[in-house]
């Protein structure tokens, strides 16, 4: 379990130094988020933990910091508010409140803020962790159980475990979020740029891609969640193919710096810069985002063409004597020297598109 006594200013300073000078405020937020998660487990609420923060449990080395707790419940427990009060009391929060949001969506969702006094003092005398609760049946194919632990969180004794979707399920879910014009996070929401949130999804897709082996699970979960999102948003006139084209075109836009595909490169570029502050496992920049976007585009084309074989890049030998001979290919062929892995996936993409005569193909290239 998490050792609350060890959550001190000294601990935050130590962990910040160990993780490339990461912001101590963010590190504390991660710890508080895990305390909230642990508290929900303690009161025996049956839930599935999903979203970006769940990925911190999935990877051996956390890739990026995430500070919201996203859960799925089939139905609201009878004593839910009493349980939340207990969670706050036992896990170091001095109050909680339900956040009211105006939305036209059909999604049945509730938002709660759990407040704490920050150890690392800022201009704010209080900070909060957001708990997002989605009420629906699980859309996932396979669930796994993982311990609640992280290198930035102090533990004592055996950690509690939590149920999360498999990496394939999470990848399918994340792909639906990387489609701004259909099922995903839009470029703007109520006049506020969502660039960082969009790139966070891309970053997660790129990292999950490395871990998955069963594309059938990715595909089935993607299709299930995409249909749910389209229904929630009243977009039933939009097809799954159009969602996949959305993913493909945004990826192509990023890779060609806005010269091809359909998207807003300036917004995506700003998102990369903003998201970099939450990524402590590596330096994140547009060139790295290009690699992740190539993986996303490859997945979109595989799913669209019902191809279950996921052929990953391993060595430059795989692209020896290969060139892309397709309209607009000069931009993609430049990747051959600068980014062999991205070139490999675009070579595969073009090959699939060429052979898919009579089937729906991604637009924009």
85 by Cβ neighbours in 10 Å (0-12 / 13-18 / 19+) ranks as middle
Split at pLDDT 50, 70, 90, the class of 358 is very low
Judgement on whether residues 241 and 329 belong to the same structural domain of the protein: yes
| Boundary-marking domain end, from 139, 165, 191 | 165
User: Which H or E run contains 189?
Assistant: strand 188-189
Percentage, residues of the chain above pLDDT 90 = 79
250: pLDDT confidence band, cut at 50, 70 and 90? Answer: very high
The secondary element (H helix, E strand) that includes residue 230 is helix 215-232
- Boundary (domain end) residue, out of 117, 134, 165: 165
Which positions ≥6 away from 335 have C-beta within 8 Å? Answer: 255, 290, 294, 342, 343, 346
- Evaluate if residue 179 carries a pLDDT over 50: yes
**pLDDT reading at 185 higher than 70:** yes
* Confidence class for position 354, pLDDT limits 50, 70, 90: confident
Residue 190: what pLDDT?
A: 87
Q: Is 279 helix (H, G, I), strand (E, B) or coil?
A: strand
53-62, 65-74, 229-238, 239-248 — which is least confidently predicted?
53-62
Same domain? For 75 and 188 the reply is no
Which of 29-43, 147-161, 240-254, 327-341 bottoms out in mean pLDDT, i.e. has the lowest?
Answer: 327-341
Token digits of residue 365: 């290239």
One domain, residues 154 and 249 = no
> In Å, how far are 71, 76, 146 from 167, measured between CA atoms?
16, 26, 12
What is the C-alpha to C-alpha distance for residues 344 and 365, in angstroms, rounded to an integer? 16
Q: In the chain, how many H helices and how many E strands? A: 13, 9
Distance CA 59, CA 47 (A): 21
Of 162, 335, 304, give the one whose Cα is nearest residue 222.
304
> Measured in whole angstroms, how far is the alpha carbon of residue 145 from the centre of its chain?
19
Q: Are both 287 and 308 inside the same structural domain?
A: yes
Strands (E), 223-302: none
Residues β-bridged to residue 132: 70, 111
Instruction: Assess contact for 167 and 153: CB atoms under 8 A.
Output: no
Whether residue 365 is predicted with pLDDT greater than 60 in this model: the reply is no
Domain around 244 = 170-355
For residue 117, pLDDT over 90 is answered with: yes
Domain shared by 120 and 175, yes or no: no
Using alpha carbons only, give the angle 128, 15, 48 rounded to the nearest 5 degrees: 50
Q: Do 42 and 181 share a structural domain? A: no
């Amino acid at each position: 379990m998490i050792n609350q006594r060890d959550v001190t200013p000294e601990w935050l300073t130590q962990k910040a130094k160990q993780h490339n000078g990461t912001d101590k405020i963010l590190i504390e937020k991660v710890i508080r988020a895990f305390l909230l998660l642990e508290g929900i487990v303690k009161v025996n609420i049956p839930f599935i933990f999903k979203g970006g923060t769940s990925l911190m449990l999935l990877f051996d080395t956390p890739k990026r910091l995430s500070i919201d707790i996203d859960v799925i419940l089939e139905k609201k427990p009878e004593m839910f508010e009493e349980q939340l009060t207990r969670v706050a009391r036992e896990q170091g929060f001095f109050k909680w409140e339900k956040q009211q949001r105006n939305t036209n969506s059909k999604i049945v969702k509730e938002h709660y803020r759990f407040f704490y006094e920050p150890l690392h003092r800022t201009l704010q005398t209080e900070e909060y962790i957001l708990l997002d609760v989605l009420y629906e049946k699980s859309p996932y194919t396979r669930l796994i159980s993982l311990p609640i632990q992280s290198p930035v969180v102090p533990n004592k004794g055996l950690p509690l475990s939590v149920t999360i979707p498999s990496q394939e399920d999470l990848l399918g879910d994340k792909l639906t979020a990387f489609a701004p014009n259909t099922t995903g996070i839009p470029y703007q929401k109520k006049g506020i740029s969502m660039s960082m949130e969009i790139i966070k999804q891309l970053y997660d897709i790129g990292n999950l891609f490395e871990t998955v082996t069963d594309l059938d699970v990715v595909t089935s979960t993607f299709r299930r969640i995409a249909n749910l999102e389209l229904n929630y948003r009243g977009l039933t006139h939009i097809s799954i193919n159009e969602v996949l084209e959305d993913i493909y075109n945004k990826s192509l836009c990023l890779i060609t710096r806005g010269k091809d595909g359909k998207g807003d490169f300036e917004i995506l570029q700003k998102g990369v810069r903003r998201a970099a502050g939450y990524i402590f496992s590596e330096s994140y920049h547009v060139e790295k985002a290009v690699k992740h976007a190539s993986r996303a585009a490859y997945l979109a084309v595989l799913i669209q063409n019902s191809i279950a074989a996921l052929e990953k890049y391993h060595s430059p030998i795989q692209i020896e004597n290969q060139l892309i001979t397709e309209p607009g290919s000069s931009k993609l062929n430049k990747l051959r020297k600068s980014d062999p892995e991205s070139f490999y996936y675009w070579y595969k993409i073009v090959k699939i598109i060429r052979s898919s005569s009579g089937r729906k193909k991604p637009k924009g290239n």
